[in-house]
Amino acid sequence: MTRAVWVKADDAVGDWDDRRARITAALEAGADWVLVDEDDVERVRELGDINVAAFRTDGNVTLVDDIDEAEDETGDAATRADAIVVGKDGEGDATIDLPEDFSGSADLSTLRRDGDFDRGAYVLSLI
């Protein structure tokens, strides 16, 4: 079994300065992964070479006014996480209740939203 060290550095840690300090310490200590909010991926990549996993929390509603613009927002390698983690602010941490039928799951809908699973995707369950 291979072990990997993950360091969580999302908005629960504090502002960007606090998160940056934690990520820098993780890089210096040789951590394998850092888990951040999706909006921080590009900034994390600027700090150093580390695998980046990102919480994706916006799967419930996506409003598209311009389909061409929405398709262009998929991002490049610098803005895309190596893995996606869902469950934060959703069913995984009990922020919302699990549905009786998993076809109505907000967390699973979040994963299905883009369908770009070549990077890997994980469902976090803290309950």
Is 50 part of a structural domain of the chain? Answer: yes
Q: Supply the Cα-derived Rg of the chain in whole angstroms.
A: 15
Look at residue 127 and tell me whether its pLDDT is greater than 70. no
Per residue in 3-19, is it b (16+ CB within 10 Å) or e — as a string?
eeeebbbbeebeeeeeb
Residue 93's domain comprises: 6-123
pLDDT tens-digit map of 9-39? 999 999 999 999 999 999 999 999 999 998 9
Separation CA 78–CA 1 (nearest Å): 30
Number of domains in the chain: 1
pTM: 0.68
Is 15 part of a structural domain of the chain? Answer: yes
Is 1 part of a structural domain of the chain? Answer: no
Is 103 part of a structural domain of the chain? Answer: yes
The per-residue pLDDT for 34 is: 95
